[in-house]
Structures are given as structure tokens and as C-alpha cells.
Structure 1
Amino acid sequence: MPERGRPLEGLGFLTIGLFDRDDPRSGHETTLELIELGEQLGFDSAWLRHRHLQYGISSPVAVMAAASQRTSRIRLGTAVTPIGAENPFRLAEDLATVDVLTGGRLTPGFSSGPPMRFDDYKEAIYPDTWQVEDLGYDRLLRLRSFLRGDEVSPFSGRQGIEEYSSRVEPHAPGLADRLWYGAGSTRSATWAGEHGFGLLTSSVVSSEHGTDFATNQAAQIRAYRDAHPDPARARVSQGLVVIPTDSATASQVERYRAYAESRNARVGVPQGPRGMLFAADIVGSSAEIAERLQSHEGYLLTDEVAFALPFSFDRDDYVQLLNDIAGVLGPLLGWRPAA
């Protein structure tokens, strides 16, 4: 289990992949270029947010398929795909196909329950069945079963000139063991541990132990590890927003600090009926950020990170941030870039 001063095992980044409504191609191209840059800089992983009816990535599987043809090493994940909006059978086929194309580099992450603003479009997805659809944990377990190669049809063999399989094809060996779950509460973190998923813990958690973000996050990570049947294989990834300024211009630093300041009012204040807590964005030199992380109770219990890129920055800003994270911050945390 990580502790103060222990080297960080894995470094990744997370992007929402914003695009212009009238020019969606350029935004998606920028996302692919950032993934390519991430591989060149030695990042271990690149993660895509999954958004519906927004100007962000709505089809991360398609984006990862494109990225698979531009990269050769970096792991590609989702953080997170809301399983409630997916058909597990079809999603298993898509994920397995892309995993084959990547050579086994996919690390998909999921959430359960109704997706954000589900009531606005539930009838578009399930016009006749939304009232009876199971949007919970069992839907995700069904997806994993398909990815494992469990039987989905009693028939296999030849019929005429066509060959049929009893499992989802193509089969991607090991993909079912590379799934993550995005948890925001002790209950969901415990479930992820009990069922052997990796734990994605982000910059939003529920307030169950006071209003300090790090305290609550650490409690959920401990619950996850305690519940995991094989603690040695338990994996935790943290997704805070960090904004290093080492190579930033003066105007960039000003914008970055204004961005973080505009979001500070919600820090430490439980939000909504579930009392969600938001982590503070960390802006400063890599040395300052590393010092704060080494005092962050949640960070000290993680194995790797997927630092979240701010939603609304420009391409040049993201390039600067990725260079500083990989070139300065990562090494200060004991990480070394992949060859």
C-alpha cells in the first residue's frame, strides 16, 4: 500500500475531449493528438470521460479504436462509462474488438445506476422498457461475464457455410480482469472490492466522515481494500485535478488560478441530497503540488493516478500541462516514464 515517499506506480491523465458543436472533428482530433503526446511523454495511461448529450466524448470506444491505430503502448481507459445507458452484450463485442486492436491495452471503467440527467432521455434509449430496466450492479456483472467468455448461446458450430460461437466474439483474453469501477461512496467502494474490480476514485466523493475530502476518500479506499478477496491485486487510481505551472506563461498562470478560484466555493461544502464533496483543484509549481499530494490522505493510499485535465482549457494549455506532469511532477512523485 502506498505511503509518503513511496514511488508512484502509474501516471495517467483524464480528458473530457471537448469539441465545437459546429466542428466536432477538430475536437476529436485534438483528443487523439493528446493521447499520442501522452505516449511520447511516457504516460502509462490515458482515460476518456464518457458524456451523453454534451459536447464531450459520447463514444469513447470509437475514440479508443482510433487511438489504438496511433499508439503502441499506452493503456486506454474510460472514467467512467455509465453502464445504465449501455447494452452489455453489444458493449462487450465493441470493447473486445478494440482490445484486440490495441493488443490488450484497454482498461474500461464504469459506474452503475441511472446516468446523469437520465430522466431527460430515458425514453430515447428504452422507449418501452425504462421502468423495468436494471441499471444497477448486475448489469455490470453481466458485461464482465460476457467479456470472460461465459456462454451466451446454447449453440456453437457450423450451420451451412457459417460458423457460430457460444460466447461473445472476438474474445479478448484478460480484458475481464482489467475492469474498473468508479465509486463515490463507501458502499460502492466496498462492492467494487468484493467483486474484484479496480477502484477509480475521483475528485468527487460522498461526505460520510465529516467534510474533509481527503479523509472521506481515504476511508473509502480502506473499505475497498478490506473487502477485496485478493488485497495484493487490489488496484486504486486517483483522479484529482492538478495544474502545474512550471512552464506556463504568465497569462496561462493567471487563467489557471482564476479557473481554480471560480470552483473553490464548493470545496468542503456537501452538495446535493447525497452530500457530495469536491476536491480542491491544486495549482502551483510541481514541487508545490507534490508536497500537497504527499500530505493528502487519499493520495497516500493509491497505486496510480489519472490526473484530470480541466474541462475548458485550450489545446496549448493541455500540451503544457502534460509536459509538466510527465517531465517534472511525475518524477518528483517517484514515477519514471515508460520506455
Structure 2
Amino acid sequence: MPLTSKPLRKLGFLTIGLFDAADPRRGHESTLEIIELGERLGFDSAWVRHRHLQYGISSPVAVLAAVSQRTSRIELGTAVIPMGWENPLRLAEDLATVDILSGGRLNPGVSAGPPHHYDQVKGALHPDTADAEDFSHERVRRLLDCVRGERVTDFSGVEGFEVFSDRVQPHAPGLGRRMWYGGGSLRSAQWAGEHGMNLLTSSVVKAEESEDFAEIQLSHIRTFRAHHPDGDRARVSQGLVVIPTDTASPEQRAKYERYAQQRLPRTATPQGPARMMFAPDLVGTSGDIAERLISHAAFREVEEVAFALPFTFDHEDYVQILTDIATRLAPALGWQPAAP
């Protein structure tokens, strides 16, 4: 099997962290255990999604704070925190704190735009400022300034027995270079590049110049790098849903195939007013999936991935999928596990 011109250098995975409302601790513990497993398998990074007012991780920074104390090497990311739910200064304090606690392993991914179902949640989220809130890229820029150590106030110094800083504290050196933008459009890709961020490109993109998913994603990657100070060296991570079946039981294989088939119709044409295109889930043996990835135009442009775990599977399914990715699929793509 021919390898890509860029062998896979960094292997990551993404989990949503679902839980049962009657027993939320079990679901959160499962997420922590899965990330611990990822570190043992040699994965370079683990990423968590967010789900506000749902039965998934609502506080990814808090979850990663816990993970940081149960792991020692694996990088920890968010994919992604929607900034419409956040105050940039307060989020910067939380991110810097977790980065310090983790020993500089945090990779925060964020996105712009209004919160999902904003009309239904704005009264609780922004009761006094709902119509004045700015959900544009400017909100992300404010976060970048805070994380990168720009001044946020004109007051500093000693007042009584207390000492005040005009910059966000703690300051986490290097965190500013590990900020990621979750982009699905040409405009977002260009903005992320111009502001020196890294780019997370997932299984959802906006159909602007084409209706071919790989072509669209490739154009986003190239646009991002064309506007980034680092050019072709700018970091991009691709996140597709990948489900290898090498060591799966017959029951698991049947479950995985049903899952992919149920989601396949949405991949045929752009969906909704925003014309969003979805990538098909990749289900099969590691050899089959590797061949499909190697023929994927956008995959050939990247050296990093954060393969997304399916939403609704069981803990044992995730163990099997991650183990097959780390021991079979990723090596077929040229990846070598990190040292223990």
C-alpha cells in the first residue's frame, strides 16, 4: 500500500463524553478512562467536544483539568468551545490554569458564531445584553489577546496588601501558539490563518465552491496556510469519523454499519440554508480505511488527525476502536506511537 507523501505524524481522537442523566458520574468517568487508555496506546492527543444543555460534556475545561491529573504525556484539546457561550477573559483564565496544571499540554479549540438555539437560551445566557452581544470573530480575537498576554486593563500594582496585574493570570507561556480554530468555511480558514491560529477541520464543511467534500476541505486547508505566517508549515488537524472493525465482534460490526448507514443520506448533498456538507463515516478494516484516507485529497495535505469517535456507542466499543486505530490503522498510515 503506498503511503502519503506526508506520513501521519500526530494521532489524536475526539470524544463527546455522553452520560445518563440519572448517573452522570459514570459517563464522565468513562471519558476519563478512555483518555487514559489513549495515552497508554501512544496517542499524541485527546480532544473533547462540548454539549450545552444536553447529556454530554458541558464543561470541557473542567473535564480536562481532571484528565490532566490522571495523565502525564498526552496533549489535551477542546473541539470546540463555542465562544458565544463564553466570556473571553474568564475563559482565558481557566485555559491558562489548566495548561499550567497539565504541564503545557492544553490545545484549546474554539469557534465563533451565536449559540445554538440562541432564541431559546438567550434569556438565561445573556439576559441583559442578548441583543448587544458580538458573536463574530472579534470574540475569538479578544480571547487570543487575553491568552497571549496582552493588557486587559489600565490598572496594576499594589492596593493595600493585594497585588494586581494588568494581564490575565496565570500566564501560560506557549499556550497562545496552541490555540486552534474549528473552521468549516473559507472565511473562517482565512481568518484563523491571519491570526496565527492552528486549524481544526472536521467532518462538516460549508459547500461554497464545490459539492465534493474532499475538495472543499482541501480548499480550506490551502486558504488557511496561504494566510498564515508559517505558510505550509502551519498546523492543520483533520477530524473524520473513523471506525475500524479489525478486532470487533460480529455484533459490534453490525452496530457500526447500521450507524454509518443511518447517517449516510446526509452526505449526498448540501444540508440546510447554510449548505453544510458532511463526510461519510469510514467503517471497515484498517487496511480498507487506510486506502480511503490515502485517496482523500485533504488527508494528503495534513500530518495530524483527531479521529472522531461516534456519538452513541458503549465504553467497550470505544476501547476496541481506539485499540485498532493505534495498533493497526495509524501504523498503516506511517504513524509511530509516542514513547511511554
Query: Is the contact between residue 213 and residue 268 of structure 1 (CA under 8 Å) also seen in structure 2?
Result: no
Q: What do the CA deviations read for 1:11-39 (whole angstroms, capped 9, x no partner)? A: 00000000001110000000000010000
How far does residue 193 in structure 1 lie from its aligned partner after superposition? Answer: 1.0
Matches within 5 A, 1:126-145: 126-145=126-145
Query: Is the contact between residue 4 and residue 333 of structure 2 (CA under 8 Å) also seen in structure 1?
Result: no
Determine the structure 1 residue equivalent to 2:204: 204
Distance 2:299 2:233 in 1: 18
Count of residues in Structure 1 that have an aligned counterpart in Structure 2: 337
Matches within 5 A, 1:251-266: 251-266=251-266
Distance 2:97 2:229 in 1: 29
Determine the structure 2 residue equivalent to 1:194: 194
Task: Let me know the Cα RMSD of the aligned residues.
Answer: 1.0
Distance 1:216 1:181 in 2: 17
Kindly indicate whether residue 106 of structure 2 is the aligned counterpart of residue 106 of structure 1: yes
**Consecutive aligned runs of 4 or more in structure 1 exceeding 6 Å deviation:** none
Determine the structure 1 residue equivalent to 2:312: 312
Distance 1:250 1:153 in 2: 60
Give identity over the alignment, percent: 64
Query: Is the contact between residue 181 and residue 197 of structure 1 (CA under 8 Å) also seen in structure 2?
Result: yes
> What SS does the corresponding residue of 2:173 show, helix, strand or coil?
coil
Structure 1: runs of 5 or more not aligned: none
Q: What do the CA deviations read for 1:217-238 (whole angstroms, capped 9, x no partner)? A: 1111111111112215411100
Could you say if the C-alpha distance between residues 179 and 304 of structure 1 is closer, same or farther in structure 2, counting changes exceeding 3 Å?
Answer: same
Kindly indicate whether residue 41 of structure 2 is the aligned counterpart of residue 34 of structure 1: no
Determine the structure 1 residue equivalent to 2:171: 171
Residue type of the alignment partner of 1:68: S
Distance 2:257 2:99 in 1: 39
Query: Is the contact between residue 181 and residue 192 of structure 2 (CA under 8 Å) also seen in structure 1?
Result: yes
Structure 2: runs of 5 or more not aligned: none
Residue type of the alignment partner of 2:111: S
How far does residue 194 in structure 1 lie from its aligned partner after superposition? Answer: 1.2
Q: What do the CA deviations read for 1:133-165 (whole angstroms, capped 9, x no partner)? A: 111111111111111111122222222221211
Determine the structure 2 residue equivalent to 1:278: 278
Query: Is the contact between residue 236 and residue 303 of structure 1 (CA under 8 Å) also seen in structure 2?
Result: yes
Moved more, 112-121 or 314-323: 112-121
Matches within 5 A, 1:28-177: 28-177=28-177
> What SS does the corresponding residue of 2:221 show, helix, strand or coil?
helix
> What SS does the corresponding residue of 2:70 show, helix, strand or coil?
coil
